[in-house]
Chains A and B, each alone.
Chain A
């Protein structure tokens, strides 16, 4: 089972936090601090896995953003790495060339997409098509309001620039 997923920038700014088990705010803050310092200190081209307490931490950098996923000890590291990648693909499909700004300005969407993909720390649906279909379906339900857009400054396409 997955325990938590954190997205943070190279500067250590937290962009998304998902906790799959109940945790106090204090604990969360401590974990966030531990994870950002630990992961940001890693040398480039190190392996993507770390041991932390009784958990395995799987992290991967996409452009300016780090994805950091903690899994229980008996879980499979490589498949967890692909959980991260699949989530990136889902975001990319939804936003189209997703970048950090998309997640900042549409954080609620990032959470909705994650909920369609993972529930309670387990995978609900691995098919990209199926996940997208349910997101599209819910978008269809939304009334069309002002379509505020923002320009993609600092745009980097993650899938092309995996570090």
Chain B
């Protein structure tokens, strides 16, 4: 056959393409293209009407330019004109251009649709096919609207040519995928199913794609296709290789159709009809048998086509998962492929076996291939094949072979490709945890993992090992000993230092008896790594050091020396500096009891889904981590770090240290410190509360937040704020003592006292039941900006007891300092276990700005003078509102006194009115406030006016007080 003399060559196009190919540089190419575009533009705009051929040629050039990757913004209209040409070749180019460069220009779409409509009704099969191809290529919603009802008619009409039927079936499929709502089922649907019986194999091949898709969406309506598909398959499978003429591909009869039929059957459960099922099983057996026959051709196409059918049959067998005999045969067949010389087959066998491993009938059979798979992991040259081998090992792992598989995966990791290391690490970590019989093996495995592939060990993995060690006392001593040994290595990964710092800080005492790992030796070992580590790790180590001081008083002097040296206490990193300063003070001022309480051992982590598994799922997408996942969903241990998702919370906590955002690796005691009132640079002048319960309410810079001090486990799910919370807040605006909260289990009482900008709040937690509350923890947090630049520091002077016995009451003291005015209230979160169920509640603590009022007595003259001074509009806030409570004079007076201001007599000319004055004390400034309340007994209304030297205070007070009267 001659090359390229077919049809009509377009000489101009060939010349242009040659020119482009001869361009030496990208610039030259662009220049040539711009020249051509200018030329075409002028031709299209010119007065002389172009003939069809020229139009076709230029449109074709534009298409070529577009396919080279350049933008085309004209020529669409000319292409549309070509659609209505009577010359096939012009029409064809027009359609091609439209298919490749769809433009959502609705005007154009209407014209295109018009041309398509004409061609569809032309009864010329070639034109009809062109139009159908175009619809399928564009597949837009507009096209679906225009043709979704027309195409089914063409598809099932008796006189439609076969080739048109084929195009129509796939065109309809395309529209159904784009706009299923527009393709209405109807009388045509049953006739479509019967296309499976069509004499023309091409029609069956095209129709089956449509039928498969429709069956997936409406399985019941298309149920009859099962028996039709089985009989069609049976005829193909049993046919001789020459029966199907041109539909035989390299001696394999109708491989595409066979695969499609097997795929269609996978939309349904095994056939219920015994005869149909028998026939199908026969087909499957024949396919398996054929795999054992000698090949009819040496061509790879022959074996590919044959094996394509075989793999599809195996998929169906796995899908049915009910024929043990077939499952085992499938497994044996795949086992043969595992050692096949064709890389493709080895790859596919590994992939297919992964799904086979999850069937109870074949799981054992898959396991027998373990040596081959391990060998594949070690020796395959192609990384994608090794990846499949690793997946399969993961899928076939169970308790009986876990140690072997984990060991092999670990040793493979040493040389594994970078692209798959992280995933491998996660898989090893999951298997080690899931199948750990003794936890010392688990600890060994994870530490090995860090040693071998430390860079790929994500935070989730090392958080997890700590979670498990904390939750299992039987492994803590071993873990301490092992990390101690691992840290001896001259170069060890930073993740190892993190795990080591954490574990020795918590459990170093368990190995301190051995002189080789005495407290000082442990400390020196950890500290020798300090200078090589990043800031978050150093922060963790500092926390470990303070724990050491608590565990081993004999290390106190050495550690204090370290904390005191300039590189710590004057570190340019605020986080590190703050820790050094605070830990140093803590260790020198606090009594041993206080220290012991503050640095108590971490409580067990709550149970929840493994963070590593979650990560792997995220990485692989849903369904990808099927096997071990299915076996049992629940796993022990809890999320180590309350989850990285807790971002907002910890971010808020650290927001005060604007210069050092909290390190993301933050966990446990490492969360950034609570807000400090002093600027970081003047850290030396910080007043550090020594946690003493007695003594004056010292202005307190909190050392740390809940994570460390109240040893609260990280919150897992935010407790819902009680709905009446705001009412609670209002209840305590004018009083300081009372019952804050009560339900069937728990009563919380509150007593508070305020002086100047400081306050102290006593919280009494009463257990109303006869059963003890376990893991009782409370956390105080300041939401949003309250934390960062407005309010106060709230700090529990002492963590609450973790256990509240039935009927008992425990007490907690909070110290409060008002830094500047604020409007939000801090939150108190309480968590405990009552008979196994986790209780979680959040309350707003009734700390309002008026608590920091100092009453000011003044004369009428002074009052009005100041009133006038505060005359800027924003300084005043006013509200007129209806009385909600009694308007009795004595009640009102009591409330106004409770507010904290001085109630001034003989000031207002109207004796019915009340005026008050006070100063709000914050750390930074004093805010003077004047108040006037004008009751109108007849109307049961009040008018409340506030004037303060700071606008935000006027607003907030007005808001608070309007609820009180």
What is A's interface to B at a CB cutoff of 8 Å?
1, 14, 17, 21-22, 29, 43, 45-51, 54, 74, 76-79, 81-83, 85-86, 93-97, 102, 104-109, 111-112, 115, 119-130, 134, 137-139, 141-150, 152
Q: How far, in whole Å, are A79 and B307 apart by their CA atoms in the complex?
A: 9
Using Cβ atoms and an 8 Å threshold, which residues of chain B touch A104?
17, 21
- Are B17 and A105 in touch, CB under 8 angstroms? yes
User: Does B304 belong to the interface (CB within 8 Å)?
Assistant: yes
> Which residues 118-133 of B have a CB within 8 angstroms of A?
126, 129, 132-133
> Which residues 425-455 of B have a CB within 8 angstroms of A?
none
User: Does B166 belong to the interface (CB within 8 Å)?
Assistant: yes
Pick the residue among B100, B254, B311 that contacts A76 (CB under 8 A). Answer: B311
Residue in B closest to A17 when the chains form the complex, CB atoms: B67
- Are B256 and A146 in touch, CB under 8 angstroms? no
User: Does B259 belong to the interface (CB within 8 Å)?
Assistant: yes
What is the distance, in angstroms, from B108's C-beta to the closest C-beta of chain A?
Answer: 16
- Are A76 and B126 in touch, CB under 8 angstroms? no
User: Does B569 belong to the interface (CB within 8 Å)?
Assistant: no
Using Cβ atoms and an 8 Å threshold, which residues of chain A touch B177?
120
Most chain A C-beta atoms within 10 Å of own C-beta, residue among B3, B96, B347: B3
Using Cβ atoms and an 8 Å threshold, which residues of chain B touch A79?
255-256, 259, 304-305, 308, 312
Produce 1/0 per residue, B140-164, CB < 8 A to A: 1000000000000000000000010
- Are B206 and A106 in touch, CB under 8 angstroms? no
Q: How far, in whole Å, are A85 and B8 apart by their CA atoms in the complex?
A: 27
- Are A109 and B6 in touch, CB under 8 angstroms? yes
- Are A78 and B3 in touch, CB under 8 angstroms? no
User: Does B694 belong to the interface (CB within 8 Å)?
Assistant: no
Q: How far, in whole Å, are A103 and B308 apart by their CA atoms in the complex?
A: 29
Q: List 7 A-B contacts (CB under 8 A).
A: A79-B312, A96-B3, A105-B14, A119-B167, A122-B206, A134-B126, A137-B126
Q: How far, in whole Å, are A133 and B381 apart by their CA atoms in the complex?
A: 44
Q: How far, in whole Å, are A21 and B384 apart by their CA atoms in the complex?
A: 27
Of B36-44, B86-94, B502-510, B860-868, the one contacting chain A is B86-94
Of B168-176, B462-470, B669-677, the one contacting chain A is B168-176
What is the distance, in angstroms, from A119's C-beta to the closest C-beta of chain B?
Answer: 4
User: Does B695 belong to the interface (CB within 8 Å)?
Assistant: no
- Are A119 and B256 in touch, CB under 8 angstroms? no
User: Does B257 belong to the interface (CB within 8 Å)?
Assistant: yes
Residue in B closest to A77 when the chains form the complex, CB atoms: B348
4 nearest CB pairs, A to B: A148-B9, A145-B8, A120-B174, A78-B308
What is the distance, in angstroms, from B302's C-beta to the closest C-beta of chain A?
Answer: 10
17 new A-B contacts, CB < 8 A, other than A78-B311, A81-B344, A127-B201, are: A22-B139, A46-B384, A47-B385, A77-B311, A79-B312, A82-B249, A94-B6, A102-B4, A108-B93, A122-B209, A123-B206, A124-B170, A125-B206, A126-B205, A130-B246, A142-B8, A144-B8
Q: How far, in whole Å, are A152 and B129 apart by their CA atoms in the complex?
A: 32
A143 and B8 in contact, given A50-B384, A108-B60, A111-B96 (Cβ under 8 angstroms): yes
Q: How far, in whole Å, are A143 and B3 apart by their CA atoms in the complex?
A: 17
User: Does B69 belong to the interface (CB within 8 Å)?
Assistant: yes
> Which residues 191-240 of B have a CB within 8 angstroms of A?
201-202, 205-206, 209
Using Cβ atoms and an 8 Å threshold, which residues of chain A touch B387?
51
Q: How far, in whole Å, are A149 and B18 apart by their CA atoms in the complex?
A: 12
A145 and B69 in contact, given A105-B4, A125-B202, A125-B206 (Cβ under 8 angstroms): no
Q: How far, in whole Å, are A77 and B136 apart by their CA atoms in the complex?
A: 24
Residue in A closest to B56 when the chains form the complex, CB atoms: A108
> Which residues 820-846 of B have a CB within 8 angstroms of A?
none
- Are A141 and B2 in touch, CB under 8 angstroms? no
- Are A76 and B308 in touch, CB under 8 angstroms? yes
A47 and B344 in contact, given A120-B139, A141-B88 (Cβ under 8 angstroms): yes
Using Cβ atoms and an 8 Å threshold, which residues of chain A touch B88?
138, 141-142
Pick the residue among B100, B140, B163, B246 that contacts A129 (CB under 8 A). Answer: B246
Pick the residue among A1, A47, A146 that contacts B347 (CB under 8 A). Answer: A47
Residue in B closest to A13 when the chains form the complex, CB atoms: B68
- Are B202 and A130 in touch, CB under 8 angstroms? yes
Q: How far, in whole Å, are A39 and B312 apart by their CA atoms in the complex?
A: 26
Pick the residue among A1, A47, A142, A150 that contacts B343 (CB under 8 A). Answer: A47
Q: How far, in whole Å, are A127 and B166 apart by their CA atoms in the complex?
A: 13
Q: How far, in whole Å, are A87 and B96 apart by their CA atoms in the complex?
A: 18
- Are A146 and B11 in touch, CB under 8 angstroms? yes
Using Cβ atoms and an 8 Å threshold, which residues of chain A touch B7?
109, 139, 142
Q: How far, in whole Å, are A139 and B100 apart by their CA atoms in the complex?
A: 21
A123 and B209 in contact, given A46-B384, A76-B311 (Cβ under 8 angstroms): yes
Q: How far, in whole Å, are A106 and B96 apart by their CA atoms in the complex?
A: 13
Residue in B closest to A143 when the chains form the complex, CB atoms: B8
Q: How far, in whole Å, are A150 and B17 apart by their CA atoms in the complex?
A: 12
A127 and B255 in contact, given A78-B344, A95-B3, A134-B163 (Cβ under 8 angstroms): no
A124 and B206 in contact, given A47-B343, A76-B311 (Cβ under 8 angstroms): yes
- Are B21 and A119 in touch, CB under 8 angstroms? no
- Are A82 and B308 in touch, CB under 8 angstroms? yes
Q: How far, in whole Å, are A68 and B137 apart by their CA atoms in the complex?
A: 19
What is the distance, in angstroms, from A135's C-beta to the closest C-beta of chain B?
Answer: 9
Q: How far, in whole Å, are A94 and B348 apart by their CA atoms in the complex?
A: 33
Residue in B closest to A155 when the chains form the complex, CB atoms: B3
- Are A150 and B6 in touch, CB under 8 angstroms? no
Using Cβ atoms and an 8 Å threshold, which residues of chain B touch A48?
344
A45 and B343 in contact, given A82-B249, A120-B136 (Cβ under 8 angstroms): yes
Q: How far, in whole Å, are A29 and B247 apart by their CA atoms in the complex?
A: 36
- Are A125 and B11 in touch, CB under 8 angstroms? no
What is the distance, in angstroms, from B59's C-beta to the closest C-beta of chain A?
Answer: 10
What is the distance, in angstroms, from A47's C-beta to the closest C-beta of chain B?
Answer: 4
Using Cβ atoms and an 8 Å threshold, which residues of chain A touch B6?
94, 109, 139
A107 and B343 in contact, given A47-B382, A81-B304, A147-B9 (Cβ under 8 angstroms): no
- Are A49 and B347 in touch, CB under 8 angstroms? yes
Q: How far, in whole Å, are A127 and B163 apart by their CA atoms in the complex?
A: 12
Produce 1/0 per residue, B1-43, CB < 8 A to A: 1111111111100100100010000000000000000000000
Using Cβ atoms and an 8 Å threshold, which residues of chain A touch B209?
1, 122-123
